[in-house]
Structure 1
Amino acid sequence: MRPKEIQEKLGIDADRIKLFKREGIFFPENPPSGNRSTNYTETDCENLRLLVVLTKSGLTCSDIRKLQDGEWTLEEAIVSRKQSIDAEIARKRNSLSLLSELLDDKAEFETFETDRYWNVITKKEAAGEEFIDIEDMYGYRPVSFIRNIQCPHCGEEYEVDLEDYLYDQSSDERENGMGPDIVYSFNSEDNFECPKCGKVIQIEGWIREYPVGAYDSEDINLDEWED
């Protein structure tokens, strides 16, 4: 099958397949060679269907990679992801309840009773409950993704926000009590042009956050884009 055929058959776009390839969880049986594009097989189709089902169930590419490498059983992956989703739902449920309370109280911005609702939140958080916070709504990250890069073509230097090209966030819980080890992966593909010379640059790599809120390390590569 040609790329367009398998995309139409599965109802997914090329970016989804590229993501699976970049994450190392999908390898076509007949990869592109020379000027010839990928010739997808029925086995490829079934593998992609499996990946779509698993990701739509909530599993991340990192979860699936652990399944493929034998590090996790499917049950372990499901339990871990379910705990994450349950925690997210609980936060949203608490925030939804607070919004309903504000509506019932006919709260007004000009006369807002901050102390009253601050105490409601403080009491619930002291009991272990959580609410939607800024990181949930705006993707706030304590580690900055803004970097200065130099165009490999013209040598121009400028600031780039790698948040715009983030495609995956993997997390491994450590046993030392310091929280999860988080790796943010990004790839600009053909979406970044040098503002001076106009040539397409591929910015690809990762930034590691460990412990939570602290910068650890990074690997950022700049290359000429090749489709």
Structure 2
Amino acid sequence: MRPKEIQEKLNIDGDRIKLFKREGIFTPENPPSGNRSTNYTDADCEHLRLLVVLTKSGLTCSDIRKLQEGECTLEEAIKIRKNNIDAEIKRKQNALILLSELLADKVEFETFETDHYWNVIAAREAEGEEFINTEDMYGYRAVSLIRSIKCPYCGEEHEVDLEDYMYDESSYEKENGMGPDVVYSFNSEDGYECHECGRIIQIEGWIREYPEGAYDSEDINVVEGEKD
């Protein structure tokens, strides 16, 4: 099955499959080769169905990786995740109560009584209540590695997912509190063939993500891959 076929069959988008690959919990039996996309097998389909069910049930990719590596049982993973979700729901319920109070008080942004509500939250937290964390609000979204490139031989335009050719993901934490500085490095070597002229293209370079989830810069080189 081609990528579009399996996405339609499972009613999921390509980003979900890419996430499973990136997190190391799914590797297709027939990965992309040259300019040919992944050819998914029936076994791949069953594997993806399992991953979709588990993730829609609330398990994370990290949970599933631990299951695959035998670090915990399914029952243990479910109990831990259920406790985490229960705590998240409680935090959101407390936030809903506070939002209702703000509406009832007819608050305005220009005249917002920060001290009053700061003290309200502090008092409730002192009693053991919790409110929404930034992790509850903002999910990580990786910078897209899909780029449009031009064949140096015939000029044909290609849309390429450079994640398929990534060989390194370097990351280091900066001291300014803005999170990790990530650089994705890739090189197609002799693995990409122009679907128009059939010549080998080499695509190499890097894409920088900084701060986390935000595009910063890139250096992508597309050259002739065949040597005379």
8 Å contact from structure 2 (residues 169, 183) kept in 1: yes
Cα separation, 1, equivalents of 2:170 and 2:93: 33
- Counterpart position of 1:165: 142
Structure 2 counterpart of 1:23, one-letter code: E
Residue 189 (structure 1) shift? 2.5
Is 1:18 the equivalent of 2:18?
Answer: yes
Residue 208 (structure 1) shift? 7.0
1:190 aligned to which of 133, 146, 150:
146
Is 1:83 the equivalent of 2:83?
Answer: yes
8 Å contact from structure 2 (residues 29, 44) kept in 1: yes
- Counterpart position of 2:56: 56
Structure 2 counterpart of 1:205, one-letter code: E
Name structure 2 gaps, 5 residues minimum. 150-159, 193-228
1:87-116 Cα distance to aligned partner (Å, 9 max, x none): 222221111101111222333445444343
Cα separation, 2, equivalents of 1:138 and 1:35: 35
1:39-82 Cα distance to aligned partner (Å, 9 max, x none): 32222111111111111122111111111111011112112222
Structure 2 counterpart of 1:13, one-letter code: D
1:205 aligned to which of 169, 183, 187:
169
SS in 1 for 2:186: strand
Pair 1:75–1:207, CA change in 2 (3 A): farther
Q: Which one has the largest radius of gyration?
A: 2
- Counterpart position of 1:101: 101
Residue 130 (structure 1) shift? 1.6
Residue 134 (structure 1) shift? 5.0
Residue 138 (structure 1) shift? 5.3
| Residues 103-112 or 80-89, more deviating | 103-112
Considering only aligned residues, what root-mean-square deviation do their CA atoms show, in Å?
A: 3.4
Cα separation, 1, equivalents of 2:12 and 2:186: 28
SS in 1 for 2:169: strand
Between 1 and 2, higher relative CO (CA 8 Å, sep ≥ 6) is seen in: 2
Name structure 1 gaps, 5 residues minimum. 140-162, 167-187, 194-199
| Residues 88-97 or 106-115, more deviating | 106-115
- Counterpart position of 1:28: 28
1:223 aligned to which of 164, 167, 186:
186
Structure 2 counterpart of 1:223, one-letter code: F
1:95-154 Cα distance to aligned partner (Å, 9 max, x none): 110111122233344544434322221111112222225554457xxxxxxxxxxxxxxx
Number of corresponding residues: 173
8 Å contact from structure 1 (residues 205, 218) kept in 2: no
Cα separation, 2, equivalents of 1:138 and 1:23: 19
* TM-score, normalization by structure 2: 0.61
Residue 30 (structure 1) shift? 3.2
- Counterpart position of 2:222: none
Q: What percentage of aligned pairs have identical amino acids?
A: 68
SS in 2 for 1:44: helix
1:2-31 Cα distance to aligned partner (Å, 9 max, x none): 322211111122232222222221122333
SS in 1 for 2:89: helix
